[in-house]
Amino acid sequence: MKKTPALSIDHLVVNVRHDMSRAQTTFENLGFVLTPRGRHTMGSINHLMVFGHDYIELIGLPTDGATLRDELLASPVGIDGLVFQTDDADRTHASLASTGQRLLPVQSFSRPVDIDGNSLDAKFRTVRFEPGRFAAGRVYFCQHFTPELVWRDVWQHHPCGVTDIAALLIVSNDPQQDANEYAELAGLQARPGLNGEYRIDGPQHTIVVLSPEAYADCYGALACESVGRSSFFGAIALRVNNLEPIRDLLEHLENEMVPAPASSPVQNPSSAAQADFVFRDRGDRIAVKINGFNTLLEFVTPVVV
């Protein structure tokens, strides 16, 4: 069962649009256990990578001619959602509205989950801002009515070794202003960090906001594309107890990759590789860019964020 403090990150979202099957294979190749494909009552499909207290959601659109969610079509492929936890969506909506935030009505929806041959409904309510409120992507609050249908032991043990989300990195043309806005939502304080970054340290998660220049200096060829946005979600840091499981998986994937020049810190996959990965192993952390989905994951130990 889930046990998390209030106003922590509930989950992060990667928009894969109509390419869900390839996304599923890609993340499974990286050593994640994915939940069976779900279908929301509002039209989207998903897979989850469930950890101890949070999860990453792959969200996409069906290809069977059913009604499509316009908000997903309007959002670029890649890391697209920062979702905070709430225990009471109505109270959160009222509190945010009282500060002048422009909100959409509270949204209720569900998706069926098969548990031992029985179909049960996972139910949620969300508090969403008006479109465009945050340039980086969709930011909202989620209330779970059936957490036992999400946080199940069978889905929480990943060959890559991930135990939880450690941090979200946000790239912004105005890091200080954006950091203050995210901190206010989380009920926390932003503080200056190294190289002009701002950090929001929660009880279990950290949000780091930095400039495009600092982001490019840090990740180089692994950096995600901004797709014309003044701010975007640049990386997800994932906590592991040690790096050997993901290192071994990447070494295995190298058998399907063209070797990079000896002087290059980046390994480049061949067109024959099932997943278009580019990665860098710095010894104390491993960054993996998933080119086809404009997503950067960084695997870190508990002492490195």
pLDDT tens, residue order, the chain (305 aa): 444 444 689 999 999 999 999 999 999 999 999 999 989 988 889 999 999 999 999 999 887 756 656 666 678 899 999 999 999 999 999 999 999 999 999 999 999 999 988 999 999 999 999 988 999 999 999 999 999 999 999 999 999 999 999 999 999 999 999 999 999 988 899 999 998 999 999 888 999 999 999 999 999 999 999 999 999 999 999 999 999 999 999 998 877 664 444 444 444 433 334 447 899 999 999 999 998 899 999 999 986 55
Per-residue pLDDT tens over the stretch 279-304? 999 999 999 999 889 999 999 998 65
Q: Which pLDDT does position 261 carry in this prediction?
A: 42
141: which residues sit within 8 A by CB, 6+ positions away? 10, 83, 84, 85, 86, 89, 92, 126, 127
**Which of 138, 48, 78, 135 minimizes the C-alpha distance to 291?**
78
Residue showing tokens 């909100």:
103
| Structural contact between residues 81 and 71, judged by C-beta atoms closer than 8 angstroms | no
> How far lies 127's CA from each of 40, 121, 276, in Å?
16, 20, 35
Q: Which pLDDT does position 73 carry in this prediction?
A: 66
Q: Which pLDDT does position 272 carry in this prediction?
A: 33
10: which residues sit within 8 A by CB, 6+ positions away? 4, 54, 83, 84, 85, 141, 142, 144
CATH homologous superfamily for 9-155? Answer: 2,3-Dihydroxybiphenyl 1,2-Dioxygenase, domain 1 (3.10.180.10)
Q: Which pLDDT does position 112 carry in this prediction?
A: 94
> Identity (one letter) of the amino acid at 281?
D
Class of domain 162-254+264-300: alpha beta
Q: Which pLDDT does position 210 carry in this prediction?
A: 98
From the CA atom positions of the chain, what is the Rg in Å?
A: 19
Q: Which pLDDT does position 304 carry in this prediction?
A: 59
**Which of 139, 137, 287 minimizes the C-alpha distance to 223?**
287
Q: d(Cα 249, Cα 247) in Å, to the nearest integer? A: 5
Q: Which pLDDT does position 257 carry in this prediction?
A: 60
**Which of 190, 186, 178, 283 minimizes the C-alpha distance to 233?**
178
pTM here is 0.90
Q: d(Cα 4, Cα 200) in Å, to the nearest integer? A: 17
Residue ranges covered by each domain of the chain: 9-155, 162-254+264-300
Same fold, 9-155 and 162-254+264-300: yes
